[in-house]
A and B are shown apart, each in its own frame.
Chain A
Amino acid sequence: MSAPARHASGATVDFEHVSKQYDAHAKGTPGAVNDLSFHVPAGRICVLVGPSGCGKTTSLKMVNRLIEPTAGRILIDGVDTAGRDVTELRRGIGYVIQQVGLFPHQTIAQNVATVPRLLGWPAARQRERAEELLALVGLDPGRYRNRYPRQLSGGERQRVGVARALAADPPIMLMDEPFGAVDPIVRERLQNEFLRLQEDLAKTILFVTHDIDEAIKMGDLVAVMQLGGKLEQFAPPAEILANPASEFVARFVGADRGLKRLSLSRVSELDLRPAVIARVGDASAEARRRSATDPFPYLLLVDESRRPIGWIADAAIPSEGRLDERLAHSMSPLINRRTTLKDALSMLLDADVQAGIVVDRTGAVLGLVTADMIAERMRETAGDARFAAVDLETIERAGAIGAIEGAAQPSEPAPT
């Protein structure tokens, strides 16, 4: 996959005491935002999450000034957005919304080329760019370029929406529940594809969702917002899950936050337990002796390429003869190193033998993973999350220094 934007990574985004009040007398109006401050480093995904009416969409729309703040400033790369021409500002920010908002009267290629057309690119370059982006989001340009939006499925339309937002290679993308209108299977696929794209694109992304699982999955940073537009916690997902800053956050992330943390770690982070293995055709007596020295009461039978065949209980290993495939009486789920701990644990719970077999790309055994190992890992990372918080403070401090430097020009008073 091509990465046309490797050079153009994201810009920083700063909210400085941003408020939006719709009614001067009522502070709790839905959509209101109250003294919001945070810093998003360049190239990161910041997810704004909270219950409906918490002001997350309002916050997003204040970045491209579809909504103007009542107070405070929003800076992009240190420059106050309020001072910029609003049309120019918007053309430099990708915008994706839940209902996609494709133009029904334009073909897919025309839709994707919308901002390049507004910017006055030559027609040939617009076409080229549209095709490049369709390919990037996984839609064959030959098949899709001349179709109209109504001829696409919901998932395809979302992809076109993302392609359209990327068209002029903006450093910042605003995404308002971009995958909210598709079914869960398509959503999962779009999320994964988008994360893979982002590895190359490195845009700065503000992403709104009401779904805490999506926030944890997509976010480098998560801003949990509360009704009344108050920021409850701003931290990496692991920190939010391990150390919720308030009762509200704890309730919002849910009683299963321990399980959710599992989805943030992968099997590759574990030190695998070595398995006692024997090949088909090995001498039984020798295998029986080796398995007896290990506390785990099963022997793992593999083929000549070390691919697992099944378990043999220690007691069932014959004392003479050779090992034979028919001795294997049960099998555990095969797990690869990219599997999340959550999925691994879930597979383990269904298995007869409480150990998952981790295999490499060729299917050969690397080792075993057990529920105890996963639990142990969770205890360790509760500490890691605190380190992550320190990292974040460093980031924030760096951002604050940037802001002060930015303001240190003559005639402009330094912010407090």
Chain B
Amino acid sequence: MIDWGWVADHLDHVAFRTLQHLYLAAIALAIGFAVSFAFGVIAARWRPVNVVSTAIAGLVFTIPSLALFAALVPVTGLSILTAEVPLVLYTLVILLRNVVAGLQAAPPDVREAADGMGFRAAGRLWRVELPLAVPLIIAGLRVATVSTIGLVTITATLGDALGGLGFFIYEGMNRFFLTEILVGAVPTILLSLVADRAFVWLQGRATPWAPPRGLQPESNA
């Protein structure tokens, strides 16, 4: 059923496409995170910005990805830009919401104590609110990463130069060649799983102060 010989012949190409896949996903996540973070800091402070940006991000999320690629082709051609713009936009809706929620997660008593002890606004943001936002920000990155790794496959519709592992899925579908589809799909799934576990690990390292997952904070006795 699976043509192992074909797989063996194409290992180099699989490796290349895997790296390309990671590269396309990483660019989207990096830009998406930078934009979300900058907007999130503003939106967490000014409610109108939050309302508007959340609405726009939500609206973007409803546009089918294929349609978005198609709409961009006349503007940006079959370039990497055409691939990255939609990928970035899709990360925004997840990341922005989590950055804002994270920055607002500091309990009121913690904020009050910080103000009362003489933190300035910037100091409170960097030393109190931001560290407390880390769990939600990482949770957002985790979801955005898994979703982006999946979405990268669709960029294969923009031509052979893009697509990452999606290249094999797209080509395999055109040729009714199951082995090639699997060579694209299975590593994509594996990448998602590995990235997901990596963020769980990072979460544990970055927030030693948070209660372990699944455990309640110790009692008040």
Contacts and interface: CB of A to CB of B under 8 A. Distances in A.
B59 interface: no
Most central of B114, B117, B220 by chain A CB within 10 Å: B117
A153 B221 contact: yes
Interface residues of B, number: 28
A87 B120 contact: yes
A102 B209 contact: no
A117 B153 CA distance: 49
B108 to A, nearest CB: 8
A87 B118 contact: yes
Contacts of A174: 116
B209 A105 contact: yes
Given A103-B128, A118-B123, A150-B218, A97 B117 contact: no
B69 to A, nearest CB: 41
Contacts of B115: 66, 90
B38 interface: no
A95 B113 contact: yes
A118 B110 contact: no
B187 interface: no
Given A87-B118, A105-B131, A105-B207, A150 B217 contact: yes
A115 B118 contact: yes
A98 B108 CA distance: 12
A164 B109 CA distance: 14
Interface residues of A, number: 31
A117 to B, nearest CB: 9
A104 B119 contact: no
Interface in B64-116: 107, 109-116
Contacts of B118: 87-91, 115, 118
Interface string A90-114: 1101010111111111100000001
A154 B114 CA distance: 19
Contacts of A64: 116
Contacts of B211: 150
A2 interface: no
Interface of A: 64, 66, 87-91, 93, 95, 97-106, 114-115, 118, 148-154, 164, 174
Interface of B: 107, 109-120, 123, 128, 131-132, 134, 207-211, 217-221
13 contacts: A91-B118, A97-B113, A99-B107, A101-B113, A103-B114, A103-B128, A103-B131, A103-B132, A148-B209, A151-B218, A152-B218, A153-B221, A164-B117
6 closest residue pairs by CB, A with B: A101-B113, A99-B109, A90-B118, A95-B116, A91-B118, A101-B109
